[in-house]
Structure 1
Amino acid sequence: MANPIHRLGDLADVRAGYLTREAVRNDPKGTHRLLQIRDFSRDRTTVNVPDMVRLTPESRSSVCTLQPGDVVFLAKGANNFAAAVPDLPSPILAASYFFILRPSPAILSGYLAWFLNHESTRALLSRLATTGAHMPIIRRDVLEALEIPLPPLTTQKAIAALDSLRLQEQALLTDLARKQHELISSVCMTTARRTIETTILEGARP
């Protein structure tokens, strides 16, 4: 039996990130941290909290602070992604280019993030994106209208766990490839320098 299909807007509350009138500047005495793209690890599973920008919101009554279990979705640009928010020291705001998705008890944040990051979902959202002044944008109504298959929570949990392992493996392989590249580059440079030095010494002999 096929799993039921639901609109994303029926499964999660979609809110806008924190919008500032001016460029964001770090204020060490700020009351809130601001989650930006640069704060995520390569696999989007962890956040570099110590380097996060601090600020004080212009109006605290209208801001949406992040909670564990939320999902942030990058709505602007060509490289959209979703990430489940880990347990972070509060209060934290999401940058304006994010939508904040607060899932209902019927859907797990890890499963929701996996679905939004799936190739087929990304391709669909890319076709539905609106062209902004400088970059494509996914509108809130488009995101809310997205149809999501909803398996049982046990299946959602298994899918999210498998996806987490995939992301960890991908990060490890990327790191391994980088270290391998650095090692080979270093060995080649050392060999080249020794060859040059040997040539110079041989040329200097009487």
Structure 2
Amino acid sequence: MKLKKIAKIRSGYINRGKIEARDTGSCLLMQAKDVNADQLSYRTDALVRFSPRQSGKDWFLEPGDILFMARGARNYSLLIDKVPDSVLAAACFFIIRVSNSDALPEYLWWYLNQSPVEEYLKRFSGRAVHMPVVRRAVLESIDISLPPIKVQKQVAEITTLMMKEQDLYKKLAEKRKYLMTEICLKSIRESR
């Protein structure tokens, strides 16, 4: 089934000109610098506060939305699980909102990050002036394998557990490095 039959896809907020940060701004803007492509995660603590030139409410992010990075050499998707009020996604993203009750956002997010989709995007993405870009029509035409909801939930749960495991391994490696450094430094101090 084509992605456009499963979800509504719209571009991120397009601002003509530079974003003017304002302490009294009515909205927050999620930009490429706010996401971690390696961990497929995002931060909301450093979002730019600004006042959009046009009403931004049609672009506000909601839990369950999927952000798709449409520009650059690496395309990936992020699942929005928690988000403050009045957050807009920048124009470098497409916002994918599931509209079909036969699809789970968590499954669709996982599926969009798999190698067959990456290969498809590499084949069909175009180029902007300075970088590769995925056009909306290309994104809409991705074929999505949609198993029953029960299977989608299982895939989503396994993916969540795998990401937690990777995070724990990373923290463990950092603690081991710290421990080894302290042992070595202690040995050096005691050898004097």
8 A Cα contact 2:32 2:92, kept in partner: no
Larger helix percent: 1
- Cα deviation, residue 147, structure 1: 0.3
**Which digits, 9 at most, give the CA deviation of each residue in 1:169-191, with x for residues without a partner?**
11221232233234334444554
In 1: Cα distance, 2:72 partner to 2:177 partner: 30
8 A Cα contact 2:107 2:153, kept in partner: yes
The residue identity in structure 2 corresponding to 1:149 is S
Equivalent runs, 1:68-87 vs 2, <5 Å: 68-87=63-82
**Which digits, 9 at most, give the CA deviation of each residue in 1:58-110, with x for residues without a partner?**
11168511122111111111222111111322111001111000111221110
Among all aligned residue pairs of Structure 1 and Structure 2, give the percentage whose two residues are the same amino acid: 34
Aligned residues: 190
In 2: Cα distance, 1:127 partner to 1:187 partner: 51
- TM-score when normalising by structure 2: 0.87
**Which digits, 9 at most, give the CA deviation of each residue in 1:13-47, with x for residues without a partner?**
110001222233432211111122343466335x4
Answering whether residue 24 of structure 2 is matched by residue 29 of structure 1, we say yes
In 1: Cα distance, 2:39 partner to 2:177 partner: 20
Deviates more, 1:149-158 or 1:138-147: 149-158
SS at match of 1:159: helix
Distance 1:78 1:61, change over 3 A: closer
8 A Cα contact 1:74 1:82, kept in partner: yes
Q: 1:202 maps to what in 2?
A: none
Q: Which of 53, 62, 73 is the aligned partner of 1:67?
A: 62
| 5+ long unaligned stretches in structure 2 | none
Q: CA RMSD in A?
A: 2.2
In 2: Cα distance, 1:189 partner to 1:25 partner: 48
Q: Which of 119, 122, 129 is the aligned partner of 1:126?
A: 122
8 A Cα contact 2:56 2:88, kept in partner: no
8 A Cα contact 2:126 2:132, kept in partner: yes
Q: 1:43 maps to what in 2?
A: 39
- Cα deviation, residue 192, structure 1: 4.8
8 A Cα contact 1:114 1:160, kept in partner: yes
- TM-score when normalising by structure 1: 0.81
Q: 1:176 maps to what in 2?
A: 172
Answering whether residue 52 of structure 2 is matched by residue 57 of structure 1, we say yes
Answering whether residue 142 of structure 2 is matched by residue 146 of structure 1, we say yes
